[in-house]
A = this chain, B = another copy of it.
C-alpha cells in the first residue's frame, strides 16, 4: 500500500472543520497531507503548513496556484486528491477546477452555494471520470450502517413513519456579533446560500434519513424561522415530510435550541419493528419489535451484520466517535482511489456520499425555502 497524497483547500490553523478532515484522513494510515492552500494569505498558508509538519514550498496562496503547481510535479510527488473544507461559497470553484485538471475531490457539505452550481458540478464530475465524495460524515457510523442494512433486509417490514431531528443551541444568542468566525459566515447568505440551519444541519438530517431508510422525500411542508435578532437566514425549522414509499414523518431542526449540543437523531417505524439512533450516543442502536423485547445493538456486538461490523475498528465496548465516522468516509474514498490506481473502473454505487447526494441536498434546501415562502405549502423536491 502506498499512502495517498492529499492537498487541502482551506483549513488553516484555527479552522474547526479543516482539523477534523485532517484527523479523519490520517486515522487509518492510508492518506498523508502533502500540500494545501490553507489560506488566501500566502504567509498564513505557509505558517499553517509548517505547523502541520509539511514543507513550506507545498503551501499555496490560492487553490488555483495549488492545482496548477501540483500538476507540474512528478506523479509520485504530486497530490492525488483535493480536500475542500472552506465555507459553502468556496466549494464550487475549487471543486470544478480540480476535477477538470484531473484531481479527485472530497468536499464538505452542502455541496455548493446554489442549486445551479450543484447541477453544473454534477456534469463536471460525470465528464471528468474522477471521484467526487461529499462528507456527509454521519453515514460513516457503524450503527447507522447497521440501521440501513436491517431496513434493506426488510427486518422492520414496510416503513410508515420517519421522524428526524437535528438540534443545536450554539446560535441561541447572537454569537455572530462577537466575532466568532464559525457563526459569522453561517448567518451570511453570501457565504451560506439561501439556507441557514437548513443548509448547515438539516441537509445532514435529510441525507441520513434517506440513507438509512432507502426511500426519498417526495414532498415537504416547511415552517422556517429566524429567531435571532437581525438574522435573515433560518435558525430553526419544522417540516412535515411525505416519502415516496408512502411513509410520513417530521423533521425538526434548530440552532437556537438552547442547551443542545449536536443532537442528530432518527426514529424509523415499520410494520414489524422500529429503530432509534442518536448521534450523541452513536454506539447504541435501539430496535423495537412487534412481539419481542427491545434490543440494543452495539458496534461489532452480537447480532450485527457484516454491512456494519466490517466498519468497526476496535472490539465491542470500545466506543468510536465522530472522527472515526468521518474517517470511514475518507477510508472508503481512499479505497476507491486505490482501486482506480489498480486499473479497476469507477464504482457504480460507491460506499460514500457522492455528487448525487449533494444535488439532492440542494434540492431539499430549495424546496424547504419555497414551501416556507408559501406558508408551509406542500412542495415537491
Asked if B297 and A295 sit within 8 Å, CB to CB, the answer is no
B28 touches A258 (CB 8 A): no
Mark interface residues in A211-223 (1 if CB within 8 Å of B CB, else 0): 0000000000101
Asked whether any CB of chain B lies closer than 8 Å to the CB of A153, the reply is no
Interchain CA distance A365-B1 in the complex, whole Å = 42
Most buried by B among A16, A257, A297: A257
Give bound CA distance, A2 to B53, whole Å: 5
Minimum C-beta distance from A251 to chain B (A): 9
Interface of A is mostly: loop
Question: In the complex, A252→B265 CA distance in Å?
Answer: 15
Q: How far is the CB of A301 from chain B (nearest CB, A)?
A: 6
Asked whether A263 lies within 8 Å of B223 as measured between CB atoms, the reply is no
A70 contacts B by Cβ under 8 Å: no
A188 interface residue (CB < 8 Å to B) = no
Whether a CB of chain B sits under 8 angstroms from the CB of A256 is yes
CB contact list, A148-170 vs B, under 8 A: 156-157, 160-161, 163, 165, 168-170
The quantity of this chain's copies bound in the complex is 4
Q: Give Cα A295–Cα B163 distance, bound, in whole angstroms.
A: 23
Shortest distance from the beta carbon of A324 to any chain B beta carbon, whole Å: 6
| Those of A312-327 within 8 Å (CB) of chain B | 313-324
Whole-angstrom distance between the alpha carbons of A298 and B103 in the complex?
40
Chain B residues near A51 (CB-CB < 8 A): 1
**Is A126 engaged at the interface, CB distance under 8 Å to the other chain?**
no
Our pick among B16, B258, B281, B293 for the contact of A315 (Cβ within 8 Å) is B16
B289 engages A269 (CB within 8 Å): no
When distances are taken between beta carbons in the complex, the residues of chain B under 8 Å from A270 are: 258
Known A236-B248, A295-B295; contact A173-B314, beta-carbon cutoff 8 A:
no
Are A29 and B53 within 8 A (Cβ)?
yes
In the bound complex, what is the Cα–Cα distance between A250 and B52 (angstroms)?
Answer: 46
- Is A178 interfacial (CB-CB < 8 Å)? no
**How distant is A240 from chain B, measured CB to nearest CB, in Å?**
5
Q: Which residues of chain B come closer than 8 Å to A376, judged between CB atoms?
A: 221, 240, 376, 378
Please give, as numbers and ranges, the residues of chain B lying within 8 Å of A30 by CB-CB distance: 53
B273 touches A258 (CB 8 A): yes
B2, B160, B262, B293: the one contacting A296 at CB < 8 Å is B293
Is A225 an interface residue, CB under 8 A from the partner? yes
CA–CA, A298 and B292, complex, Å: 11
Contact assessment for A3 and B53 in the assembled complex, using a CB-CB cutoff below 8 Å? yes
* Interface pair A250/B252, CB less than 8 Å apart: yes
Q: Give, as a whole number of angstroms, the nearest-CB distance from A47 to chain B.
A: 11
Residue of B nearest to A242 (CB): B223
Q: State whether the Cβ of A22 lies closer than 8 Å to any Cβ in chain B.
A: yes
For the complex with contacts A257-B267, A258-B269, A280-B317, 19 further pairs of A-B residues with Cβ separation under 8 Å are A2-B53, A19-B313, A20-B314, A23-B28, A26-B27, A29-B53, A223-B248, A238-B248, A258-B289, A259-B289, A260-B269, A260-B288, A262-B316, A263-B317, A290-B302, A293-B302, A294-B295, A319-B321, A376-B378
23 contacts between A and B (CB under 8 A): A27-B323, A29-B52, A30-B53, A32-B32, A157-B258, A163-B252, A169-B269, A169-B288, A223-B242, A249-B252, A258-B272, A259-B273, A260-B317, A279-B319, A280-B319, A283-B321, A293-B295, A293-B296, A293-B298, A314-B323, A318-B321, A320-B321, A376-B378
Nearest first, the 8 A-B pairs at minimum CB distance are A259-B288, A261-B317, A262-B317, A321-B321, A318-B322, A319-B321, A293-B295, A293-B303
